Amino acid sequence: MKTTKLASVVAILAALVFTGMASAQTDPGVRSNTGVNAGQPLASVTASPNDLAFFQTGLAQFNEHQTVTGDNPGLGPRFNLDSCGACHSQPAPGGTSPASGIFPNVGPNPQSQVIANGVVSGSTNTIPYFVFANGPVREARFPFFFDQFGNPNPNAPNGGVEDLFTVSGRTDAGSCSLQQPSFNTARVTNNIIFRIPTPVFGTGLMANIDDSTLLANHAAQANNRLGVGGAFNHNGNDGTISRFGWKAQNKSLMIFAGEAYNVEMGISNELFTQDRPLPGEDQLGSGLPANCLNLAGIGYPEDITHSDGATASTVTSDVGLFNTFMQFLDQPIPSTTSPGGATSIANGRSLFSAIGCALCHTPSLTTQASHLTSGLSNATAKLFSDIEIHHMGADLADNVSQGGAGGDQFRTAPLWGLGQRIFLLHDGRTANLLGAIQAHQSNGSEATQVEENFDLLSPSQQQDLLNFLRSL
Amino acid sequence: MHPKFSRSLALVCFAISLTAHAQSSLQSGGDFSINPQPNALPSDVLLVKGAWSSASDSVTPVPEGGRVANNVFSNKYFGLTYALSPDWTEKYTGPPPSDSGYYVLAQIRPAGTSKGTSRGSILIAAQDLFFTLTRARTALELINFNKESLDAEYKVEQPPTLVRVANHSFVRFDYGSPVAELHWHALATQIRCHTVQFVFTSRDTKLVESLIQEMSKMTLPAEAGPISGRGGGEVPVCIKDYARDENVLERVDPVFGERRFNPVPVRIIINKEGKVKHIHFLSAFPDQVEAVTDALFQWRFRPYLRDGKPVEVETGIMFGRAPHPATTPSTNAATE
């Protein structure tokens, strides 16, 4: 009898515990039952043979692997990878960091495969400690320069990209011999931060939102009661609002593409015309050694507009093609039913606004008239961003200043396509939505009160909100 | 060869050979380090700031200078103290002031980590009425504007209403979200031309009411009121746009360098002789602080007279690129 009673109590307790576990909110994870919902051209581009040809050529160039010499020359002498599309691949070209075994299974982190694939020489390069096969793709920066004693110097801000690999040891790199930056010392000295690739879906729409629209949205949200401020990063040349990159530091997609081609792949182009040394080599040293210059043997810039091209798309430079590809990429298509069903998603969307997420993650903004294609004209960009920079607190701060953004300020990350992203936040520190939401709360963050509101929701309400986010 | 000279020559040669060796192998400095025992930077500390708040001296109180200590929030600038409930605390400090004059003064919440419907939060915030992006001129107008601009998903539970708290007049505005089942009760007053606002958030309205009751223990300056808080007495009177037109007798414009497109809101205190006594930058880059400080200390003003006697005056100036208010307050709301 006693045994029976005890068993009953245990069974009831177990049921309660498991019920509680079952109802606890969880990140639904990458949405895998609706196909790939990003990476397509705008409908108006598809309808125009010339525009579509441009888009397809841009896509091909985006996915092309570069080498030091040969048909696709210019790689290096320092670089993070040899192709735009290798990093921007989840869930489709133009996206962000991939990982094996997660829908649509693009593949392992390509940075982890560079020696195996012969992109770099294993005798002169090592895979940095922070690069793993299961991702994320990472760009590394040292917030501060090391001093002559090997200590990071807080009075000497660096913040530039420290490319992971060198061409040294490749058969097409001649005698160029470069060492990789001191990643291990940077780790020990807490002098390293990471960035993952920003998705570029829908960026043509973002580029076509007038400053007046952004300013009006800012003014409308400024009188909130949730602790949110916000500011814009301005282009240093003309003072207009810049909008691309994790800190909204780039004014246009062309600049974004030109800088990435130069910084991430080491390819000089018509916007960034020299091979790029590391920040310290450039500012504190003598630049790249002579035997690492003009490795392609074609002079500078390595990527140019081709006056001998036969068609518009073959005349255009690689950077121009990247720009066109990104401008013509449509915004991701959200699901109305997955995950969690239509009711949960609709409820989650309401909660998203009610607790204040939408103050910064502005659900939509309207574009202005476009000279490029009708799909960009007067369109509703469902970006879930105000394109402002916000103080995100000490926990997320990376101590890197870009343009007017300080070390704790980041552009409100557009959430379109979030349902099929694997890695979250600027450095990909988490793949769990709950972790990403909780990271919004720390000393100095504008989002602390909103995160507090999230914590005040019931578990089922939180689940609705998570379902909504993964429906995007 | 003299022995001392030969020893010195040997040392020099050794040093040169070391230098040559270092250059031919690993570099140190810049992006490289070969120190086997380097010093680590602290974690989770902001070392590289963008536009930030600062002041020309560290003695004069500033709005963001409030602190929670011994379970009491106190703010010398606003002259207020607010005793927290025994089990409530400030876990996270707020961000710096925004360039439109919005301050997070304190964020209060239960000290424990327990979950449940009794939880909530208190946001103590301020809006500088000189730099607000609304056209509100007083705390009352700002709260009325809050009500008029409330999104449709919220339900007004109590429209802006004048109430007495700690022997001072506040405007109270309650609203809630049916879908989130959360309630926001905001109580605001005006001090030194700022709207100072207490925003209580919870699922539990009884909890909020009990917290509001505890506000009776607050201390506030005599000026506090929905429209009356314009300084004076122990602190300077505050007057919007005093630093313009015929009040400015001498003016030197600051010259900005590379950074010149962000708003740079500045509050100044002008002494009885018409000179700048104190400068508070709500948001500015260091080079802008230097340029504006150099300029403002050369300005001369017509002393402000009250009852025929000169008194200190506090006003605001926007340098850089000033955003324009995009909205208008409603006139169809509570009045004092």
Chain B residues close to A401, C-beta within 8 Å: 48, 50
Residues 6+ apart with CB under 8 A from A403: A233, A234, A235, A236, A242, A247, A248, A249
> Which tens digits make up the pLDDT trace of B236-293?
999 999 999 999 999 999 999 988 899 999 999 999 999 999 999 999 999 999 999 9
Looking at residue A11, its pLDDT comes to: 52
Measured CA to CA in angstroms, residue A297 lies from A43, A79, A166 at distances of 41, 18, 17
pLDDT at residue A49 greater than cutoff 60: yes
Residues 6+ apart with CB under 8 A from A423: A96, A97, A99, A135, A136, A196, A430, A431
Around B61, how many Cα atoms within 13 Å sit in the side-chain half-sphere? Answer: 15
Q: Is residue A429 part of a domain?
A: yes
Looking at residue B8, its pLDDT comes to: 47
Q: Would you identify the CATH topology of the domain B53-229?
A: Protein Transport Mog1p; Chain A (3.40.1000)
Q: Is residue A450 part of a domain?
A: yes
* Cβ neighbourhood burial of B214 (10 Å; 0-12, 13-18, 19+): middle
Domain count, chain A: 2
The CATH number that domain B235-320 falls under is 3.30.2420.10
Q: A218 in contact with B at a CB cutoff of 8 Å?
A: yes
* Inter-chain CB proximity B92 and A448 less than 8 Å: yes
Give me the domain span that covers residue A76: 43-198+252-309
Provide the token pair at A210. Answer: 């007038």
Q: A24 in contact with B at a CB cutoff of 8 Å?
A: no
Could you tell me which residue, A150 or B127, shows the higher pLDDT? B127
Chain B residues close to A190, C-beta within 8 Å: 40-43
* Inter-chain CB proximity A227 and B203 less than 8 Å: no
Spatial separation of the C-alpha atoms in residues B285 and B266, rounded to whole Å: 12
A364 and A437 inside one domain: yes
Spatial separation of the C-alpha atoms in residues A362 and A27, rounded to whole Å: 22
Looking at residue A246, its pLDDT comes to: 98
Domains B53-229 and B235-320 share a fold: no
Out of A222, A409, A443, closest to residue B133 by CB: A222
**A217: nearest CA in chain B?**
B326
Task: Tell me the average pLDDT of chain B.
Answer: 89
> Which tens digits make up the pLDDT trace of A408-433?
999 999 999 999 999 999 999 999 99
A54 and A80 inside one domain: yes
Spatial separation of the C-alpha atoms in residues A16 and A33, rounded to whole Å: 31
pLDDT at residue A30 greater than cutoff 90: yes
> Which tens digits make up the pLDDT trace of B24-41?
345 567 788 777 788 899
Q: Average the pLDDT over A30-52 and give the result.
A: 98
A301 and A349 inside one domain: no
| Cis peptide upstream of residue A98 (ω within 30 degrees of 0) | no
Q: A446 in contact with B at a CB cutoff of 8 Å?
A: yes
Looking at residue A5, its pLDDT comes to: 54
pLDDT at residue A94 greater than cutoff 90: yes
> Which tens digits make up the pLDDT trace of A115-148?
999 999 999 999 999 999 999 999 999 999 999 8
pLDDT at residue A271 greater than cutoff 60: yes
A283 and A406 inside one domain: no
Spatial separation of the C-alpha atoms in residues B135 and A224, rounded to whole Å: 15
Looking at residue B297, its pLDDT comes to: 98
Looking at residue B25, its pLDDT comes to: 43
A141 and A243 inside one domain: no
A378 and A433 inside one domain: yes
Looking at residue A353, its pLDDT comes to: 98
Domain residues of chain B, as ranges? Answer: 53-229, 235-320
A419 and A293 inside one domain: no
pLDDT at residue A313 greater than cutoff 50: yes
* Inter-chain CB proximity B34 and A150 less than 8 Å: yes
* CATH assignment of the domain containing A448: 1.10.760
A216 and A189 inside one domain: no
Spatial separation of the C-alpha atoms in residues B150 and B160, rounded to whole Å: 12
Residues 6+ apart with CB under 8 A from A52: A41, A45, A46
Chain B residues close to A226, C-beta within 8 Å: 123, 199
User: Residue B111's CB: how many other CB atoms inside 10 A?
Assistant: 15
A124 and A223 inside one domain: no
A102 and A184 inside one domain: yes
Looking at residue B35, its pLDDT comes to: 78
| Cis peptide upstream of residue A104 (ω within 30 degrees of 0) | yes
Chain B residues close to A457, C-beta within 8 Å: 180, 182
Among the listed residues A90, A84, A86, the one whose alpha carbon sits nearest the alpha carbon of residue A39: A90
Could you tell me which residue, B14 or A153, shows the higher pLDDT? A153
Task: Tell me the average pLDDT of chain A.
Answer: 94
Spatial separation of the C-alpha atoms in residues B19 and B24, rounded to whole Å: 9
Residue ranges of chain B with pLDDT lower than 70? 1-28, 113-118, 324-336
Could you tell me which residue, A1 or A318, shows the higher pLDDT? A318
Provide the token pair at A287. Answer: 């630049």
Looking at residue A15, its pLDDT comes to: 47
A211 and A178 inside one domain: no
pTM for the complete prediction? Answer: 0.92
A354 and A366 inside one domain: yes
Looking at residue B27, its pLDDT comes to: 59
Spatial separation of the C-alpha atoms in residues A452 and A442, rounded to whole Å: 11
